[in-house]
A and B are shown apart, each in its own frame.
Chain A
Amino acid sequence: MRRIGRRGFLGAGAAGLAVLAAPAVLGQARPRAVVVGGGSGGATAARYLARDGAGAIDVTLIEPARRYDTCYFGNLYIGGFRDLESLGHSYARLATEYGINVVHDWADAIDRDAREVRLASGGSVPYDRLILSPGIAFRQDAIEGWDIAALARMPHAYTGGTQVALLRAQIEAMPPGGLFVMVAPPNPYRCPPGPYERISMIAHLLSGTNPTAKIVLIDPKETFSKQALFEEAWGTLYPGMIDRLPTDLVGPVERVDAGTMEIVTATETFRADAANIIGPQEAGRIAHRAGLVNEAGWVPVSAFDMRSREDEAIFVLGDSAQQGDMPKSAYAANSQAKVAAMVVRSELTGSRAFPARYANTCWSLLGPENGVKIGATYEPTEEKIATVEGSNFVSQTGEDAELRAATYRESLDWYDAIVADMFG
């Protein structure tokens, strides 16, 4: 029998064990689950806890933004395939239909001994179980010259909404024949195909409005996700426009200057008309403040339930977690959230627990009606979340237009489905 967490047990034949499953909260009015971060992991976890708990769990979601702008499909906005409004989602139904206490505030600190989340506004929220899903932060001082002030001219556009809108506006303002430069992030980072889908979408946008413009992609990695598919598309759809320069050719990026729009590598200096710097990443700040991160800046978790290896009352989802083989994707965070919610509900209410399982699929758009995807299923091991052997799949080069259009339509339905899974 597979281990499924400290108090977990297999579903079948588990009747009678339920009363053992909730020792932490016996005698209390309603057990309290607090979720920090209202993205793909956090919103899903909060909604599943509230829906499946059916009133038995007091669920609080702490999220500073009033509206969630998905990072995914932000590239489709840049390419002109979506409007920004369609990528924004309200938390209202989580409050009105699911009874979640949605608190629009920053989680400023976590007192793990007292089991309280301290809010930036001064209050605090006690928890029996805490789920952290704060996404990524950019490593400070990783690139000389790329500081908070520089983000206005050299956006990362790697969180949804404002930054994505800014990047597109700057690309649209490029002079004829101008130069766009992206600095791609080192592994690991959010959305492995994201920078390359973005390059495709920028090339599509420029092909229509500024066809003599050039795109330079400075990449610290030798290889990247869906590489054959992207490179085929760049050669056929946008010939001569995109130049990918691995840093073993031009050297690592040494500094940037948002005033002169220069990107300086060991061997070359690029002067960009628009630039997108996607810096090195780590877990969101609150995970650091909670003392849960490792030297690499991520939160090690158990593969069986997404529980922090440092604190048995805290679960960490999505981009912030160091869990093993799963990519940092919306789909993965949503998948992990369902496991964590199931385990937390079991611990708080004695409901049945089941063995964890995970899945991922990531779609990317190469050009109009030209979608590709990659995915796999995953299973927990003592060491990590491991890819189920032989489960990897990826779209193939040379696929016909009809299949690519069908894959694109799938991605549109996936988007609608996952945001419904998060926000109701």
Chain B
Amino acid sequence: MAPADTRHPPHSVRIGGAILGLLLLAGPALAEEPGGPVAEEPAASPAAAGPDEADLDRLLALLPEADPEWGAFLSGDCTACHREGAGGEGIPDIVGWPAEAIATSLAAYRSGLGENPTMRTMAQRLSDEEIAALAVYFESRAP
């Protein structure tokens, strides 16, 4: 699925097969967050270097067939904090982001990257199919 409307451009650069420059990065809050100690889990797991590039490519390959209706239900976990059309300084508006950006960001959090324990926790239980469903749902909601 081609990245469509980038009215809310994520902080990412596509290089080779993967989106780098992670968006972990995903928004002002994350970008500003200092690298202080967070959460009780180990800071550096073997996976903390981020998602494997081949794994990420497999995930992105799911996007064309992903299920936005499933994503709509799964997005209930997101919308209590991410407000459509009005992201603040603390939590970004993710509605309308390109699916690849959402998927790459969630994959990064799932792999342990990023300092925000809320996002790591939310992402940790997501399967590839669930991430893909969320990604195409949020893209489909582009204003």
B residues less than 8 Å from A357 (CB atoms):
74, 77, 125
In the complex, the answer to whether A406 meets B84 with C-beta atoms within 8 Å is no
In the complex, the answer to whether B121 meets A375 with C-beta atoms within 8 Å is yes
In the complex, the answer to whether A414 meets B80 with C-beta atoms within 8 Å is yes
**Distance (whole angstroms) from the CB of B45 to the closest CB of chain A:** 11
The dominant DSSP class at the B interface is loop
A373–B122 Cα gap in the complex (Å)? Answer: 14
**Distance (whole angstroms) from the CB of B85 to the closest CB of chain A:** 9
Give A339-364 interface residues, CB cut-off 8 Å to B: 339, 342, 352, 354, 357, 359, 361
B interface, how many residues as a size bin? 35 or more
A375–B41 Cα gap in the complex (Å)? Answer: 13
In the complex, the answer to whether B67 meets A12 with C-beta atoms within 8 Å is yes
Q: Which of B29, B40, B91, B121 makes the CB contact (< 8 A) with A417?
A: B91
Q: Determine whether A338 belongs to the interface, using a CB cutoff of 8 Å to chain B.
A: yes
**Distance (whole angstroms) from the CB of A408 to the closest CB of chain B:** 8
Stretch among A90-98, A163-171, A386-394 lining the B interface: A386-394
Give A389-419 interface residues, CB cut-off 8 Å to B: 390-396, 398-400, 402-403, 406, 408-414, 416-418
In the complex, the answer to whether B83 meets A416 with C-beta atoms within 8 Å is yes
A residues less than 8 Å from B80 (CB atoms):
331, 334-335, 359, 361, 414, 417-418, 421
In the complex, the answer to whether A417 meets B82 with C-beta atoms within 8 Å is yes
Q: Determine whether B36 belongs to the interface, using a CB cutoff of 8 Å to chain A.
A: yes
Give B70-110 interface residues, CB cut-off 8 Å to A: 70, 72-74, 76-77, 79-84, 86-91
B residues less than 8 Å from A406 (CB atoms):
29, 32-34, 90
In the complex, the answer to whether A335 meets B77 with C-beta atoms within 8 Å is yes
B residues less than 8 Å from A335 (CB atoms):
76-77, 80
In the complex, the answer to whether A413 meets B87 with C-beta atoms within 8 Å is yes
Q: A342-B73, A417-B83 are in contact. Are A409 and B88 (CB under 8 A)?
A: yes
A242–B124 Cα gap in the complex (Å)? Answer: 39
A393–B121 Cα gap in the complex (Å)? Answer: 8
**Distance (whole angstroms) from the CB of B34 to the closest CB of chain A:** 5
Q: Determine whether A376 belongs to the interface, using a CB cutoff of 8 Å to chain B.
A: yes
Q: Determine whether A377 belongs to the interface, using a CB cutoff of 8 Å to chain B.
A: yes
For B111-126 the 0/1 string (1 means CB < 8 A from A) is: 0000001101110110
Q: A11-B67, A420-B83 are in contact. Are A376 and B121 (CB under 8 A)?
A: yes
Taking Cβ atoms with an 8 Å cutoff, the residues of B that contact A are 29, 32-34, 36-41, 67, 69-70, 72-74, 76-77, 79-84, 86-91, 117-118, 120-122, 124-125
